[in-house]
Structure 1
Amino acid sequence: MAKPRLHRVAVLVLEGAKPLDVGIPAQVFTTRQSMPYEVRVCGAAPGPVSGGDGLSYHVADGLEAFDWAETIFIPGYRHPDREDPPAAVVDALRAAHERGARLAAISTGAFALAATGLLDGRRATTHWHYTRALAARHPLVEVDENVLFVDEGSLLTSAGAASGIDLCLHLVRRDHGVALSNHVARRLVAAPYRSGGQAQYVPRSVPEPLGDVFAATREWALRHLAQPLTIGDLARHATVSPRTFSRRFVEDTGYTPMQWVLRARVDLARELLERSELGIEQVATAVGLGTGANLRLHFQRILGTSPSEYRHTFRRSSDG
């Protein structure tokens, strides 16, 4: 069987680039046996690039990497509200998008993407500290300060560095399904998924040290999806009241507990459809959705497709 062609990813390093923002897409889409991606790190020109936080970079490629790339990441950089990136970078990003490349900005990389004009009239986000500056500098962009990432098809933006992981996992899932996305999340020791609509910054007067408890409860729920699960069951596992559990769960994940359980069940169904020969009714039972009709209903509502078509699509893509 012919090996599937690797999706080509370029990571753009601008002056003042933030180390985590550069490292996240470079590591998520790393060229390795288990990943159908190939990565190049580039700059406005080959050679040294001054970074932020006391680090510098040496990139092998310049903007010619855009001609090669199918997805281009624009990591965040220091002082994005003071001036736009070099005109050559802005023009190259615009030309790459016109050729069909997907552009994804992490954190303040949204300023460079907005400088192309491609975000005009579209939703976008950036780190919460810079949302007002982005709206002021690019008033035609619909800046949403209350989300982790925004998917506008071929143009994507995310908030701070950690939400860059969420955006990358979202793209892996979009490209190759939930099984590979979960594999990457396990490799990174990251949450398999968080809602893109989750608030990126929730101020609290008194921090509540329940993060580990709630993470353990989510892990427990993932192991018991085939069983009936209620808010009461989850709250008892977390040893808090259902009211406290529901409130904190929304803050931690962006979903109500039962919305999260439903999406977890659909995601497990996706993985079974990708990797097993189980029939639709068997999959529905295995993930706690009861019947094939129920599975089809939730698949259509959440994914806009049927379980059978989903299986066909990802079997076809995995066959290359």
Structure 2
Amino acid sequence: MHTVAVLALDDVIALDLATPIGVFGRARLPDGRGAYRVRVCGPRPEVRGEAFGLRVPHGLEALADADTIVVPGCAYGAPPPPPEVLEALRVAAGRGTRIASICVGAFVLAAAGLLDGLAATTHWIAAETLAKRFPLVEVRPDVLYVDNGQFLTSAGAAAGLDLCLHMVRRDHGSAVAADAARLSVMALEREGGQAQFIVHEQPPVPRGSALEPVLAWIEDNLGRDITLADMAAQCGMSERTFSRRFREQTGTTPLQWLLRARVRRAQYLLENTDHGVERIAGQAGFGSPTAFRERFKRVVGTTPQAYRASFGARPRARAG
């Protein structure tokens, strides 16, 4: 039987910890036998959770015979992993053990040097920090998970489910993974390269900036064709001066800002209306459905239809 060791460190995130325990613990082979033996292990017999204490039945020695090690994320401000944890992960990696992380658990793998020279992901809110702290890691903030073969990383808790199901599928095939997915009440698997469905907040503008009125004007006029000249005219500046000041104050260009604003409007409409793609393309100012699909996918990482399928409002069930 395949053994999965789930590593519990201080300030472990409850949902990240529960994800591999639930997925691997519920997976069943066609004959009904459990597909995995799951062990929770850690450097100490008791660790702190977000709002609870957790007794850990196995020490780090449980990593020695594990086929897979999963490292859940820990809360912001958690202490760095103890040196013995990093060394145990390095030793396991040297034996060829598969090692995966959920959310900011990627920081532990990176601290052990396991991700050097590899692509990896984490929750989008922590991606920039991961890239700065570990420059040898190729951080990909716009995907759900990355499978490098031996080392795998995922984004937030939901992406952790996707990654665990992906590993079940690799180990035992689609039928076993589909059964585990049904028990988790979720779709079998979103592709790892799919985006995290996050359009980052627009860069802040200093309070009282001359750009504030033009940004409000852009939001009010997204349905029309807006050019750089139109935006500059709203500020009474030349296009060159406007572009320079815009970049100085926001870190991006006016047209990049405009694209993000259009995508955010389209996301809202996809989530909250049943308008067709053609109508949303016009309301968000993309000009044509083709341009809308291409630019939406470039920013969000998936198609408008797929985004609506995941995040659109569901009709209420009728009583009786």
TM range (shorter): 0.5 to 0.7
Distance (Å, rounded) in 2 between the aligned partners of 1:131 and 1:201:
14
Q: Is 1:10 the equivalent of 2:5?
A: yes
Distance (Å, rounded) in 1 between the aligned partners of 2:303 and 2:197:
17
> Which residue of 180, 198, 217 corresponds with 1:202?
198
Q: Is 1:50 the equivalent of 2:58?
A: no
The structure-2 alpha-carbon separation of the partners of 1:153 and 1:106, relative to structure 1 and needing over 3 Å to count, comes to: same
Alpha carbons 2:124, 2:196 under 8 Å: kept: yes
1:40 to partner: Cα distance: 0.5
Q: Is 1:41 the equivalent of 2:40?
A: yes
TM-score (norm 1): 0.64
Distance (Å, rounded) in 1 between the aligned partners of 2:275 and 2:169:
33
Q: Is 1:69 the equivalent of 2:50?
A: no
Q: Deviations over 1:263-295 (max 9, x none)?
A: xxxxxxxxxxxxxxxxxxxxxxxxxxxxxxxxx
Distance (Å, rounded) in 1 between the aligned partners of 2:126 and 2:9:
18
**Aligned twin of 1:240:** 276
Q: Secondary structure of the equivalent of 1:41?
A: strand
Alpha carbons 2:269, 2:275 under 8 Å: kept: no
> Which residue of 179, 184, 190 corresponds with 1:183?
179
Distance (Å, rounded) in 1 between the aligned partners of 2:193 and 2:11:
28
1:89 to partner: Cα distance: 0.2
1:208 to partner: Cα distance: 3.1
Distance (Å, rounded) in 1 between the aligned partners of 2:33 and 2:125:
36
1:84 to partner: Cα distance: 3.0
**Aligned twin of 2:106:** 110
Distance (Å, rounded) in 2 between the aligned partners of 1:151 and 1:22:
20
The structure-2 alpha-carbon separation of the partners of 1:161 and 1:248, relative to structure 1 and needing over 3 Å to count, comes to: farther
**Aligned twin of 1:99:** 95
**Aligned twin of 1:127:** 123
**Higher Rg of the two aligned structures:** 2
> Which residue of 154, 159, 171 corresponds with 2:155?
159
Aligned-residue CA RMSD (Å): 3.0
Q: Secondary structure of the equivalent of 1:39?
A: strand
Q: Is 1:27 the equivalent of 2:29?
A: no
Q: Mapping of 1:156-305 within 5 angstroms?
A: 156-203=152-199, 205-206=264-265, 207-208=267-268, 210=270, 240-241=276-277, 243=289
Alpha carbons 1:198, 1:254 under 8 Å: kept: yes
The structure-2 alpha-carbon separation of the partners of 1:83 and 1:59, relative to structure 1 and needing over 3 Å to count, comes to: closer
The structure-2 alpha-carbon separation of the partners of 1:83 and 1:58, relative to structure 1 and needing over 3 Å to count, comes to: closer
Q: Is 1:60 the equivalent of 2:57?
A: yes
1:143 to partner: Cα distance: 0.8
TM-score (norm 2): 0.64
Aligned length in residues: 228
Q: Secondary structure of the equivalent of 1:205?
A: helix
The structure-2 alpha-carbon separation of the partners of 1:55 and 1:209, relative to structure 1 and needing over 3 Å to count, comes to: farther
Distance (Å, rounded) in 1 between the aligned partners of 2:152 and 2:114:
11
Unaligned ranges ≥5, structure 1 = 1-5, 214-237, 260-320
Q: Percent identity?
A: 48
Distance (Å, rounded) in 1 between the aligned partners of 2:102 and 2:134:
17
1:96 to partner: Cα distance: 0.8
Unaligned ranges ≥5, structure 2 = 200-262, 279-288, 307-320
